[in-house]
Amino acid sequence: MLDIEFLKSKCGETHYKRLEILGNSALLEFVSEYAKIANPDSIFVCTDSKEDAALMKKKSIELGEETTLNIAGHTMHYDGVTDQGRDPKNTKFLFEPGTAPEGLNGIDREEGLKEINGIMKDIMKGRQMLVCFFALGPVESPFYIPAVQLTDSYYVAHSELVLYRKGYEGFKKAKPVTFFKVLHSSGEVDANCISKNVDKRRIYIDLKNEMVYSSNTQYAGNTVGFKKLALRLAIQKASREGWLAEHMFLMGVHGPWGRKTYFSGAYPSMCGKTSTAMVEGETIVGDDLSYLRNINGKVKAVNVEKGIFGIIQDINANGDPLIWEVLTTPGDVIKTNVLMANGEAYWLGDGQQVPEAGRTFSGDWKKGMKDEAGKDMPHAHKNARYTIDLEALKNCDIALNKKDGVELGGIVFGGRDSDTWVPVRESFNWNHGVITMGAAIESETTAATIGKEGERTFNIMANMEFLSISISKYIEDYIDFGKKLKNPTKIFAVNYFLRDMETGKWLNGVKDKRVWLKWMELRSHNNVGAIETPVGNIPKYNDLKKLFKNVMKKDFTPADYTKQFTIRVPQNVAKIDRIVDIYKNKVKGTPQVVFEMLAAEKDRLLKMKEKHGDFVSPEKLV
């Protein structure tokens, strides 16, 4: 309930006026209600001014949440040893009784609210509450969602100001009745400003009130509420309103005659998503989250964010020169959970000489230190991160903040698949791509992943972890979205991890994705032909030969082509059977079209097998 006098007492005259001038009673009630629960000593309302942004960073450094590095503008932040990643166990949806879709980690809404409000009671006492405004998608665009976060962490506020478009002035103009809301507190912290009570770490998502609660954690994936946490809110909102909220990159691929075609793409973790968005010679709009809308019968898309919160491991001068440049030159850059020694930062796979000693996420570190299992302690965490503004990258696309978004020439789905999918193929139509490509993504575990190597994890649209609706509803939303398009966007599938059936060696080069992107760009404009196979259209040899020569300056032999684009019938049939089993036995209410589409593909494969055998080279299909 709104308590104006209480709010004034916490804000003071200046900051209360900053709220009052917005003319939004829902906002005042939100701030008032949770200020009463969290009980901060004071409230700071952050506007879009450069001075406010600079103050968030300055206070974070002064209080020890961040430490300055030698490179001008760069800072270091450490999360606790047990606070190094997302917390799936304690990330829960708040559902009304009987409304939880299958497979989602939920808790009774009233029970959850009682628990989280109890944890948040007086949690900000002795501290300042920050009221921060952001815009998800460009302000004053069809994609725009206003967003407000309450937090007591200057590091979190600083991170969000790097990652998201400022939203105070947009909020003032739009006067939204509803908006995405986040309440976060680091909770009690130790002398190093690290959350102490991680046993009370909770990340609760209230879909009814479009709100995220986050307590006793500092890791940005749990606290920067407008990343994957608000993606869950957006997926449900999109489902209600007829658009798509996706775990997708956005990029511009340059074609002939000075043409640029935009693609979005969804790949599970460790399947090449970021490396594709940052591929040499092309431009990046975003690396992580996209909103897709039907605007005048065309698919338009925007990057929800304006920055990157990326894994820093293996970023080095040779492999990622553009990101490396940003990470080694002056600017507003936050590095987390890596080694700091004499004001310099070092991370796994950076190509630098590791110093003898320094400070890392686990405290003081020296070469040769052992963990409890007797293994060498790494000098940086494998999930260590960097936070940068996209506009700091030389390959940032000029359409980053285009209000009506970019028109998509294609949507790309990828996974980690050693033995089935060819490197690149095009679907026959929208539904074929949605069902047999996006809704059939699998990602194999690797030797570096917990679990048995080669096990396949199902990950629909690479968005499985973040769904806030049922899988069946998600598929229905995609199909309905396609029905309303005048000329549905082409859908493609890629696989960077195919192995030779005899030797087990990789068949794809690390940079071959540059050619697959160029081919998809040409296909999106029907500039080259294709060979029809039971699983979609694949490239012709001569087209790839020219592209490899022009783009990569290397030869692509007929033998290369045959090995990479041979259709492996047994493996494809086995995959279809696995996916059918999932949708038949593990998903409730699967649309019938899913089974029809998969059965038709299996039938085409078996008929081809009767004619050509188990392994069918593309030459046999011409």
Return the CATH number at 489: 3.90.228.20
User: Residue 363 belongs to a domain with what CATH number?
Assistant: 2.170.8.10
Report the pLDDT value the prediction gives residue 202, as an integer from 0 to 100.
96
Is it the case that residue 447 has pLDDT exceeding 70? no
Residues 284 and 145 in one domain: no
- Alpha carbons 108 and 442: distance in angstroms, whole number: 31
Residue 173 pLDDT level (bands cut at 50, 70, 90): very high
Digit-coded pLDDT (tens) for 335-368 = 999 999 999 999 999 999 999 999 999 899 999 8
Report the pLDDT value the prediction gives residue 101, as an integer from 0 to 100.
80
Q: Is residue 342 part of a domain?
A: yes
Q: Is residue 285 part of a domain?
A: yes
Digit-coded pLDDT (tens) for 490-535 = 999 999 999 999 999 999 998 999 999 999 999 999 999 999 999 9
Out of 207, 241, 275, a domain closes at 241
- Alpha carbons 235 and 145: distance in angstroms, whole number: 12
The arithmetic mean of pLDDT across residues 107-129, rounded, is 97
Q: Is residue 517 part of a domain?
A: yes
Digit-coded pLDDT (tens) for 297-330 = 999 999 999 999 999 999 999 989 999 999 999 9
* 25: containing domain: 4-65+87-241
Residues 428 and 535 in one domain: yes
Residues 106 and 134 in one domain: yes
Report the pLDDT value the prediction gives residue 450, as an integer from 0 to 100.
43
Residue 103 pLDDT level (bands cut at 50, 70, 90): confident
User: C-alpha 520: how far from its chain's center?
Assistant: 22
Residue 446 pLDDT level (bands cut at 50, 70, 90): low
Q: Is residue 140 part of a domain?
A: yes
- % of the chain at pLDDT higher than 90: 91
Residues 421 and 361 in one domain: no
- Alpha carbons 232 and 469: distance in angstroms, whole number: 9
Q: Which range has the worst mean pLDDT, 99-113, 177-191, 555-569?
A: 99-113
User: Residue 193 belongs to a domain with what CATH number?
Assistant: 3.40.449.10
Residues 542 and 507 in one domain: yes
Number of domains, the chain? 3
Out of 218, 241, 264, a domain closes at 241
Digit-coded pLDDT (tens) for 39-93 = 999 999 999 999 999 999 999 999 999 999 999 999 999 999 888 888 989 999 9
The arithmetic mean of pLDDT across residues 178-207, rounded, is 95
Is it the case that residue 104 has pLDDT exceeding 90? no
Report the pLDDT value the prediction gives residue 453, as an integer from 0 to 100.
56
Mean pLDDT (the chain, rounded): 95
Q: Is residue 509 part of a domain?
A: yes
The arithmetic mean of pLDDT across residues 423-447, rounded, is 93
Residues 597 and 461 in one domain: yes
Task: At 607, give phi and psi (nearest 5°).
Answer: -65, -40
Residues 519 and 406 in one domain: yes
Report the pLDDT value the prediction gives residue 449, as an integer from 0 to 100.
41
Cβ atoms within 10 Å of 144's Cβ, excluding its own? 20
Q: What type of residue sits at position 55? A: L
Q: Is residue 198 part of a domain?
A: yes
Out of 392, 412, 433, a domain closes at 392
CA separation, residue 37 to residues 32, 34, 73, 123 (Å): 9, 5, 35, 8
Place of tokens 């050619």: 515
Residues 41 and 158 in one domain: yes
Would residue 271 show up in a list of annotated catalytic residues for this protein?
yes
The answer to whether the CB of 491 falls within 8 A of the CB of 433 is yes
Helix, strand, coil % (nearest 5) of the chain?
35, 25, 40
From the candidates 11, 46, 132, 271, give the one annotated as an active-site residue: 271
Residues 315 and 453 in one domain: no
Residues 429 and 527 in one domain: yes
Residues 58 and 137 in one domain: yes
Q: What type of residue sits at position 560? A: D
Q: Is residue 81 part of a domain?
A: no
Is it the case that residue 448 has pLDDT exceeding 50? no
The arithmetic mean of pLDDT across residues 201-214, rounded, is 96
Report the pLDDT value the prediction gives residue 81, as an integer from 0 to 100.
87
Report the pLDDT value the prediction gives residue 451, as an integer from 0 to 100.
47
Residues 298 and 336 in one domain: no
Digit-coded pLDDT (tens) for 124-145 = 999 999 999 999 999 999 999 9
Residue 372 pLDDT level (bands cut at 50, 70, 90): confident
